[in-house]
Structure 1
C-alpha cells in the first residue's frame, strides 16, 4: 500500500465519520476488512511509519501546551489522533506544529483505537482470532517498525520556558498565563 492509498483510506473514514471517532474507527475497520490480508498488513506498516515520523520534539511541545503534560501513552495516542486528521493536517503539523492551533478544540486529542484497526480488520477478513506471526502488528514489529522501543525522537528538545516562543499560536490558545 503506497502513501497515497493509505491517506485516501484515512481521509474517507474521517469524512464519513463527521467528527465521530468511533464511527471513523468502524469505517476504517470495515474498509480494511475488504482488502487482501497483505494490504491490511501494509496499512499497519504505513501507520507505524507515520507514528515514527511524527515522533518529534515539536509534536511533544504541542501536546504539552494542549494537555498540560506529556507521558508515553498519551503521546502515542496524540500522534494517532494527528494521523487520523488526514495528510494535510499531519504534514502541516510536522512542518510547523503551531499550525495545530487552527484545527484544535479544547479537550484531549486521543485516537488510541487507530492502533487496533488493522488487527480487527485482519481478524474479520481471515477469521483468525488467535494472534500469530501473520498478524499485522507482529509483521510490522518484525520489520523493525516498533513505535514503543528504539524510536529516537527527532528535533531539538526544549524547556517549558521556551514553549510560548516555540509555539506561540498554541500557547495563546491553550497555554497557561
Structure 2
C-alpha cells in the first residue's frame, strides 16, 4: 500500500458516508480484502499522515473548537479526525491550523454549545486508530496481531500526542485573534482568569 492508496481509502470512506462509525465499518471491509502487509502499512501511513498535525498550534486550535478543554486524548482523537477530512485539508491545516475554519463540519458546530452537538458530529475520530487492528484480527484471529506485526518490523508507533512547536494560551483573546483569527471568532473562549 502506498500513500495514494491510503488517501484513496480515507477519502473513499468520506464519500461513502459521513457518520464516523459507518466510515470505519467501510474501511474495515476494504482492509480485510487486502493482504496482511497492506493492513500493517495502512496503520503506519495513518500515523505518518497524523504526525505533521502533532503541533502545539493545532492543539490550541482544537482547544478553541472544543471550548477550552482539550486533553491529550482529545487532541489525539482530533488529529485522526483531521486526517479523516482528507489529504488536501491536512495539507492546509498543517500550513495554517486556522484553515480549519473552512471545514464545513465545524461551520455547523460554530455558535452552538458543545452539549448540543450531535454525537457523530464531534471533531474526533478515535476509532480510525483501531480499524487496521480490527481488520488484522478479523483475518488472523489474533487480538494483538497488528501490534505484533509492527513490532516484528521494528515499527513503534506513538500512542499519545508529542506536539512540536511553541505552546501558548488560546484563552488569551489577543493572542488567539492573532494566531487563529477565524477560529477564535467562530468558537470564542473567555479569557483565562488566574
Q: Normalising to structure 2: TM-score of the pair?
A: 0.81
Within 5 Å, give how 1:44-123 maps onto structure 2. 44-67=43-66, 68-103=68-103, 104=106, 105-106=108-109, 107=117, 108-123=122-137
Question: 1:93 is paired with a residue of what secondary structure?
Answer: helix
The range that moved more, 35-44 or 54-63, is: 54-63
CA RMSD of aligned residues (A): 1.7
Determine the structure 2 residue equivalent to 1:24.
Answer: 23
Which consecutive residues of structure 2, in runs of 5 or more, have no partner in the other structure?
A: 110-116
Which consecutive residues of structure 1, in runs of 5 or more, have no partner in the other structure?
A: none
Deviation at 1:123, TM superposition (A): 1.6
Structure 1 pair 96–140 and aligned structure 2 pair: CA distance change class (3 A): farther
Question: 2:54 is paired with a residue of what secondary structure?
Answer: coil
Determine the structure 2 residue equivalent to 1:145.
Answer: 157
Partners of 1:138 and 1:11 lie apart in 2 by 28
Structure 1 pair 138–60 and aligned structure 2 pair: CA distance change class (3 A): farther
1:155 to 165, 173, 179: 165
The total of aligned residue pairs comes to 170
1:125 to 139, 156, 160: 139
Deviation at 1:77, TM superposition (A): 0.5
Partners of 2:169 and 2:22 lie apart in 1 by 38
Partners of 1:40 and 1:55 lie apart in 2 by 23
Partners of 1:169 and 1:130 lie apart in 2 by 44
Question: 2:176 is paired with a residue of what secondary structure?
Answer: helix
Structure 1 pair 94–37 and aligned structure 2 pair: CA distance change class (3 A): same
Determine the structure 2 residue equivalent to 1:37.
Answer: 36
State the structure with more CA Rg.
2
Question: 1:38 is paired with a residue of what secondary structure?
Answer: helix
Deviation at 1:118, TM superposition (A): 0.1
Q: Normalising to structure 1: TM-score of the pair?
A: 0.88
